[in-house]
Amino acid sequence: MNHPNLLIGLMALALMAVAEPSTTAAEPASKCYEMRVYYSPPGRLDDLHARFRDHTLNLFTKHGIGNVGYWVPVDNKENKLVYLLSYPSREAREVAWKAFFADPDWKAAAKKTEANGPIVSKVEQTFLQTTDYSPVVKTGDLSQGGVFEMRTYTTPEGKLPNLDARFRDHTLKLFSKHGMGNQGYFHKMADQPNADRTLVYFLTHKSQDAAKSSFGEFGKDPAWKAAREASEKEAGGSLTAQGGVKFEFLVPTDYSPTK
């Protein structure tokens, strides 16, 4: 017996499945991200911003360095600038920075902006790659006037695959359910310290208060409790090391391609 309504319904579902965009990263395995943190001497952070705004971003683009996002902590007691860059590969990164440092325009900008002394006192860098479950890393108005949250998880030895499985199968969906924006999930590249134990990711929230409320609801969700219990049972214990959860709220700079 034919069931035309059932057939039409199945065809519609199939079309919807085809039209549904992928939420996972469709990036070459070689693609490299670099997170850099600059610490500025007291009173010099505005000068550092001016150099990035007026010179550095354009020079990065000139030399094939992708400007992803530039942020400062909400509570910026250390005069920090946090930014994320992208490259086709780690090798491309080395070529690009060599050309950048050799550029006469960069040398002139550095000399001019440091006429009254250094504007960077310390630099930290971490090379990253997206996880297989990360949404595509985008630029644009992602927070819509809200805040970003950078979270770093350190696992016990050998437990990063378990943590990845929990995020892949459960956590990202539950974050979305409770109003949090998944903006990028990263592993450290293999030669970085604790690469086999670290997950770094970015969320967006309407505000810090909204983040607190979202995580409160997330923590009470029966689906989260079940996922956590099952994943820890399979792994034989917690998936994060003691003191291994760190987070920082960030706001984009006025010159950041990602807001």
The C-alpha atoms of residue 110 and residue 120 are separated, in whole angstroms, by: 11
Averaged pLDDT score across all residues of the chain: 92
Rounded to 10°, the helix 104-113/90-102 angle is 70
1 pLDDT exceeds 60?
no
- pTM comes to 0.88
- pLDDT of 26: 64
Tens-digit pLDDT profile for residues 36-66:
999 999 999 999 999 999 999 999 999 999 9
Tens-digit pLDDT profile for residues 143-174:
999 999 999 999 999 999 999 999 999 999 99
Spell out the domains of the chain, with CATH numbers in brackets.
Answer: 32-252 (3.30.70.100)
- pLDDT of 15: 36
25 pLDDT exceeds 80?
no
| Terminal Cα-to-Cα distance of the chain (whole angstroms) | 56
Question: Two tokens at 134?
Answer: 């990360």
Mean pLDDT for 164-193 is 98
Question: Two tokens at 1?
Answer: 């017996």
